A and B are shown apart, each in its own frame.
Chain A
Amino acid sequence: MTPSSVVSLRGVTKTYGPQRGVMDLDLEVREGELLAVLGPNGAGKTTTVEIMEGYRHPDRGTVRVLGLDPVRDRRRCVSQLGIMLQEGGVYPSLSVGEAVRLFASYFANPVPPGELLELVGLSERARSRYRTLSGGERQRLSLALALVGRPRLLFLDEPTAGMDPRARLVTWEAVREQRGRGVTVLLTTHSMEEAERLADRVAIINQGRLVALDTPAALIGAGGGGVVELETIERLTPAGLAKLSALPSVERSRELAPGRYLLRTTSAPEALVEVAALLRDEGPQVLRLQVGGGSLEEVFLELTGGAE
């Protein structure tokens, strides 16, 4: 564990049967950063977070959180963490205010409940029972409960899933504010937009393995050496796509959308020439042909097999 890392996973494996869990995971979360863990459903995002939170004991490997073993030093560890579960976690018949005051009673120096509800935009709902809240309001209450103890490290498991755009903005603002105060944040998400907007670094997990870990800019750029993006005026036929994949410097090609393709190449400049020549002779007409995937979404699809 380097001095600046607050979470360190080394060779962590946790399996629940053949298709689930994480395999041989190495991951460091640095002090003060916001790390987004991105991956398709069932990739192992929640397993990764729950191992860090101390809910799961790994089959193999070592876990350090704030210098502690999150399972054995549970209470010392957890008093410095803010945990937001993917859903639930609150007594349904308590009101928003009662829930916040209850959680405040668990910490020596809690954030005043009124201030907290202001922060997540729930002041007007303080007297409403949890069961009457919308999905987005429940998520924001859950975020408030994660923040009440002034955590050093915040775990957010899909914090904006099911939120309307306005609630999402409020949540992003609250998360940015925590990050601005020096709180380290680890969040899991499906949303590329969320990762691009919030994250200092992005870890992409697929089928239980870490497949990429870098800044969003570097991840988008990293593909640039070997990735070519192609747009055509009409959709390629399966035979046309096969010919594209068979070009000497193209390793494989993927259809992002009808008429939009991402090519993994051994050499981008050579691939540009070959693709241009092929389509000049056989069509369809090229609208755009450029080096580099254009967004995190394309990097993500490239790395995770784009099954969605």
Chain B
Amino acid sequence: MSGPPLAAPWPRSLRAQLRVELLLLLRQPENLLVILVLPVLLLALFAGARIFPSGAGRPADFLIPGVITVALMSTGMVTLGISTAYQRYYRVLKRLGGSPLPRVVLVTAKAGAVLLVEVSQVALLLVIGRLFFGWSGEVLAAIPLMLLGSVCFAGLGLTLAGALRAELTLGGANGLYLLFLVVGGVVLPIDHLPGWLQPVAAALPPALLSSSLRAALGSTAVAGSTVILLAAWTVVLAGAASLLFRWE
């Protein structure tokens, strides 16, 4: 034997961990359904519906920011939240805590996997929007908002995973997802909701993100108050996620 056993250099662990985290996100059929199939399906179905504000241009101008919001919710809130809760349930997180893998490498690998998936989702939706629904817009200006939104939804998913048991995280994340599809201003404009619900819906993260993305992609001014409120949600949810996080 030659000296005590040592931890691997971190880049090697990070590569292996990132590969596995990506594999785990994409290997489950139910994950592929919410990550890929559902946003594309919503875009295709609602592009033909006549429920959008007149004078708002093509349906795709309303829908693309909406389905990007859905895609970020699918990955950050639903998939990351549920998979993290189950990794704790199966004691994977506990076992990793008893390995020399540094925590920062584990967190970076998870964030990296989520980000790679989200970049592919957004690219796919934009290409489909362009090719089939005549969409065009200002993508670069919207990137900071997408990043903010993805941290916000990941924070929400991890908050659920930290606060609830695995089965309840599964139910909670899917329940919120359905609710947000209705009140998030993503495929259904907020002004179609009952009057009393509209101000509440407008102050929740999905509506804040979809409406500000709509402005940014459409090259109009993004309302400062919307971005500030979204940033506040993000700080609160990311903070709650790191406070509530448990390894076992």
Residues of B31-76 contacting chain A, CB below 8 A: none
Inter-chain CA distance A92–B91, complex, in Å, is 10
Cβ–Cβ contact A85 & B24, under 8 A: no
Cβ–Cβ contact B16 & A101, under 8 A: yes
Against B, the Cβ 8 Å flags (1 = close, 0 = not) of A83-121 are 101011111111000100111011111100000000000
Q: Quick check: is B221 within 8 A (CB to CB) of the other chain?
A: no
Inter-chain CA distance A277–B136, complex, in Å, is 104
Least Cβ–Cβ distance between B60 and chain A, in angstroms: 36
Which B residues are in CB contact (< 8 Å) with A151? 5
Cβ–Cβ contact A105 & B97, under 8 A: no
Least Cβ–Cβ distance between A32 and chain B, in angstroms: 12
Nearest B residue (CB) for A108: B6
Q: Quick check: is B171 within 8 A (CB to CB) of the other chain?
A: no
Cβ–Cβ contact A108 & B98, under 8 A: no
Cβ–Cβ contact A93 & B28, under 8 A: yes
Given contacts A101-B16, A105-B8, A152-B5, contact A54 B98 (CB under 8 A): yes
Q: Quick check: is B13 within 8 A (CB to CB) of the other chain?
A: yes
Inter-chain CA distance A53–B98, complex, in Å, is 7
Partner-binding segment picked from B99-107, B148-156, B180-188, B193-201: B99-107
Inter-chain CA distance A87–B17, complex, in Å, is 22
Nearest A residue (CB) for B98: A83
Cβ–Cβ contact B98 & A88, under 8 A: no
Cβ–Cβ contact A94 & B24, under 8 A: yes
Inter-chain CA distance A80–B5, complex, in Å, is 5
Inter-chain CA distance A78–B23, complex, in Å, is 26
Least Cβ–Cβ distance between A172 and chain B, in angstroms: 23
Which A residues are in CB contact (< 8 Å) with B131? none
Q: Quick check: is B95 within 8 A (CB to CB) of the other chain?
A: yes
Taking chain A's interface residues, is the majority helix, strand, or loop, or is none over half, making it mixed?
Answer: loop
Least Cβ–Cβ distance between A193 and chain B, in angstroms: 27
Cβ–Cβ contact A78 & B100, under 8 A: yes
Which A residues are in CB contact (< 8 Å) with B28? 93
Q: Quick check: is B15 within 8 A (CB to CB) of the other chain?
A: yes
Cβ–Cβ contact A108 & B8, under 8 A: yes
Nearest A residue (CB) for B6: A108
Given contacts A55-B97, A75-B102, A83-B95, contact A105 B90 (CB under 8 A): no
Which A residues are in CB contact (< 8 Å) with B24? 91, 93-94
Cβ–Cβ contact B94 & A55, under 8 A: yes
The answer, among A88, A106, A150, for a CB contact under 8 Å with B101, is A106
Inter-chain CA distance A16–B214, complex, in Å, is 53
Which B residues are in CB contact (< 8 Å) with A79? 4-7, 100
Given contacts A98-B20, A105-B16, contact A90 B8 (CB under 8 A): no
Q: Quick check: is A182 within 8 A (CB to CB) of the other chain?
A: yes
Going nearest first, the 8 A-B pairs with the smallest beta carbon separation are A89-B95, A105-B16, A88-B91, A79-B100, A108-B6, A83-B98, A79-B7, A88-B90
Could you tell me which B residues sit within 8 Å of A by CB distance?
1, 4-9, 12-13, 15-17, 20, 23-24, 27-28, 86-87, 90-92, 94-95, 97-102, 248
Give me 10 other A-B pairs in contact (C-beta within 8 A), A53-B98, A54-B98, A106-B8 excluded.
Answer: A75-B100, A79-B4, A79-B6, A81-B98, A89-B91, A89-B92, A90-B90, A107-B7, A107-B100, A149-B100
18 of the cross-chain contacts (CB-CB < 8 Å) are A55-B98, A75-B102, A80-B4, A81-B98, A88-B91, A89-B91, A89-B95, A91-B24, A92-B86, A93-B27, A93-B28, A101-B16, A102-B17, A105-B16, A107-B8, A110-B8, A150-B1, A182-B1
